[in-house]
Amino acid sequence: MSGVRVLVGTRKGAFVLTSDGKRAQWAVSGPHFGGWEIYHLKGSPVDPNRLYASQSSGWFGQLIQRSNDGGKTWESVGNKFVYDGVPGTHQWYDGTPHPWEFKRVWHLEPSLTDPDTVYAGVEDAALFRSTDGGQTWQELSGLRGHGSGPRWMPGAGGMGLHTILLDPSHPGRIFIAISAAGVFRTDDAGKTWRPINRGLHSQYIPDPNAEVGHCVHRIAMHPSRPGVLFMQKHWDVMRSDDAGESWHEVSGNLPTDFGFPIEVHAHEPDTIYVVPIKSDSEHYPPEGKLRVYRSRTGGHEWEALTKGLPQRDCYVNVLRDAMAVDALDSCGVYFGTTGGQVYASADAGDSWTPVVRDLPAVVSVEVQTLP
Amino acid sequence: MIRVVLPYHLRTLARVGGEVTLDVEGRATQRSVLDALEARYPTLRGTIRDHVTQQRRPLLRFFACAEDLSYEPPDAPLPDAVASGAEPFWVVGAIAGG
C-alpha cells in the first residue's frame, strides 16, 4: 500500500512524519538538526529517498543537508553561496541602497528529472543551482542582474526568494517569486528573466501598479496545467491564465484576502486552498478561528473548511511554505502552524486531524507520496 | 598539539564529543588553527569564518587563556599555552536568545 512522508521544517529542527495510505496513524521522527532553523526540506520527484534540507543559524550561518535514505541519515554538502560578480545594491526598508548580502536559503526545489540537480532560493534574493547533489552552487545571475534588482526591497521577513516552480511541459521555463519584488519568469533555463506582475495592485508602494515591488507571498500551479498560476499576495488572491503575462483578482468571498500559503489539489486543477489571516498587522486568523478556504472554481467562490480545526481562541499563523498536498486518490492536504501543530486532511480538506500538536514553530511542510 | 573547544552545535555538526585536538604545522595562529580545523572537519567551513572574506562570523568570539582574542589579527601568534596544548582555543557563541 502506498504511503506518505511529510517533511516538516521548524524553528528548532526538522521532523519527518510518515503514514500509510489511510493517513490515520503516524510515526514521528525527529528532531533532526535539533536547535537549528530548518527553513525547508524537499524530496526529489525522481528519487524519493533523495532529500535536501536548508539548515541555518544566526550564529553559524547556512548549511545544506542531503539524505539518500528518505531522511534516516543525513550528510552536509556544500554551503558556499557566493553571488556572481559584484553584488550591487537593492532598496533597504527606508528606500536607501543596501548591498546584497547572503543570509540563508529559504527554499530548495529539486529538479523534475535529475536527483543531483536542485535549485535554491535565497535571501537576499537570488537563485542558485547545483548539478552535483548540492556539493557546489552557482548563481543564475541573470535574474538578479536583469535590471530591476536595484528596485527590489525586503518584506518584513527579509528579501527572500521563496517560491520556485519548474514547468513540466516547458523544460526551460521557471517561475520564481520574491518578497518584495514580485514574480519573474525565465524561458531559457535561467539565463534571462523578466518580471511578470501585470495586474498586481499594491497600495503599499509608491506606484501601486509598478513593474516590481509587489510583496508576493506564494505562487502555485498544477503540473497538468502549468500556464495557470495562483498567487497569494500580501493582500489579494490572484490568478493568471497566461503563464503570468497578466493577473486578475479571485479573492471573491474570502473573509480576508491576506495570507501566506496557496496550494492546488493534486487531481483537480481548479481546486485551490488558502488560509486567510486577519491582516498584515495581525498575523493570526480572523475571529480566532482557524479556517482553510477552498475554491473548487479556481477562485472567486470559496468555502470555509473547519471540521477538526480550532474554532475559538486560535491565534497561530500559517507561513508561506507550510502547506502541501499529497497525490493519493483522495487528495491529502497538510499545513503547519507557528504554534507547532501539523494538521492533515485525508479527504481534500473536508475534515482535519492534528498529526502533531507541539512542535516548534513550523516554517515549512512538504509531502512525498510514496509507492 | 592544539586543543580546540567548539560550541555545542558545531560539535554536533562535526560529530565530535568533547575537545578537538589538531596538529598544526608552523606557528599556531587563529588562521592556522582554523585552517587545520576545517581541513579535518570540512562541514565546519563557512560556520566559523565567512567562505570568501575569512572574517569571523559576527556572533562568534575567540577566547584563550582568559583573554578575548576575537579582534587579534588572524596571523598573530596564539599564546604559548595554546601552542603547547596546555590551554584550549575556544570558539564561543554569543549568549543570545532564541
Do the Cβ atoms of B46 and A82 come within 8 Å? no
A204/chain B closest Cα distance in angstroms? 31
Q: What is the pLDDT of residues A308-343, one digit of tens each?
A: 999 999 999 999 999 999 999 999 999 999 999 999
Mean pLDDT of the region A120-134: 98
- In chain B, beta strands by DSSP E: 2-5, 20-22, 60-64, 67-68, 89-93
Q: Measured between CB atoms, does A59 come within 8 Å of chain B?
A: yes
Do the Cβ atoms of A63 and B51 come within 8 Å? no
Cross-strand bridge partners of residue A122 = A105, A126
Instruction: List chain B residues with CB under 8 Å of A62.
Output: 46
Q: Is A79 helix (H, G, I), strand (E, B) or coil?
A: coil
Instruction: List chain A residues with CB under 8 Å of B96.
Output: 58-59
Do the Cβ atoms of A59 and B93 come within 8 Å? yes
Q: Is B36 helix (H, G, I), strand (E, B) or coil?
A: helix
Quote the CA–CA distance of A175 and A240 in Å, as a whole number.
Answer: 12
In this structure, what is the dihedral angle of CA atoms A147, A153, A157, A160, given to the nearest 10 degrees? 0
Q: What is the pLDDT of residues A23-56, one digit of tens each?
A: 999 999 999 999 999 999 999 999 999 999 999 9
Say if residues A232 and A249 touch (Cβ distance below 8 Å). no
Q: Is the peptide bond before A126 cis (omega within 30 degrees of 0)?
A: no
Do the Cβ atoms of B51 and A58 come within 8 Å? no
Band of residue A156 on the pLDDT scale cut at 50, 70, 90: confident
Quote the CA–CA distance of A257 and A275 in Å, as a whole number.
Answer: 9
What ipTM was estimated for this complex?
Answer: 0.94
Q: What is the pLDDT of residues A183-214, one digit of tens each?
A: 999 999 999 999 999 999 999 899 999 999 99
Band of residue B98 on the pLDDT scale cut at 50, 70, 90: low
Interface test with B, best of A59, A81, A139 (most B CBs within 10 A): A59
Say if residues A195 and A182 touch (Cβ distance below 8 Å). yes
In this structure, what is the dihedral angle of CA atoms A269, A275, A277, A303, given to the nearest 10 degrees? 80
Instruction: List chain A residues with CB under 8 Å of B9.
Output: 35-36, 57, 59-60
In this structure, what is the dihedral angle of CA atoms B31, B34, B39, B43, given to the nearest 10 degrees? -140
Residues in chain B: 98
A217: buried, middle or exposed (CB in 10 Å: 19+, 13-18, 0-12)?
buried
Do the Cβ atoms of A59 and B60 come within 8 Å? yes
Q: Is the pTM of this model over 0.95?
A: yes
Say if residues A371 and A359 touch (Cβ distance below 8 Å). no
Q: What is the pLDDT of residue A1?
A: 54
